[in-house]
Amino acid sequence: MTVKAMSARAVAVYALDEVGEALLRAAGELFPHEPAAEVAASIYRRARALGLVRGWRGVKVVMAASIYAATRILGLPASVEEVASAAGASVRDVMRSYWALRRYLDFKASPIAPEKYVARICGEWPSGTKLPKRLPA
């Protein structure tokens, strides 16, 4: 069945299923054991209900911004660069959409404490390597 033969509602449902799958895939890629995908999906649904999602480019960017917002709400250490690359969007567009989500959805997202990044940074070092007392600048 082609897109022309489908009703507008069927096209919207089909597009939403694809967005939902992509959202779960991107969030699961970053945080496999965290509820970030469910929180991101909730944020995305609220954004879509308010009309913040426009066009296919907007879908991808708002999806990435929803994932980033979920990580900030849950206190998970993730940079916007990681989220943008996992979703295939630019950092600039993701941040613009993130600020729009914060403005219109009015959610609280505090900065992530630097201590949360320590385990992740140490995990990136090769095993058996002696860690320096201070990381190089």
Choice between 133 and 68, residue whose per-residue pLDDT is larger: 68
The H-or-E segment that residue 42 falls in is helix 36-49
Q: Tell me the CATH number at 18.
A: 1.10.472.10
Residue 118: other Cβ atoms inside 10 A = 11
On whether residue 3 sits in a domain, the answer given is no
What is the separation of C-alpha 25 from the centre of its chain, rounded to a whole number of angstroms?
10
Q: Work out how many domains the chain is built from and give that number.
A: 1
On whether residue 23 sits in a domain, the answer given is yes
On whether residue 51 sits in a domain, the answer given is yes
Choice between 7 and 28, residue whose per-residue pLDDT is larger: 28
Q: Whats the size of the chain, residue-wise? A: 137
Task: Domain of residue 74: give its range.
Answer: 8-124
pLDDT value of residue 131: 63
pTM, full prediction: 0.73
For tokens 């995305």, name the residue. 44
54-112 pLDDT, tens digit per residue, is 765 678 888 889 989 998 998 888 889 988 988 888 999 999 999 999 999 988 888 88
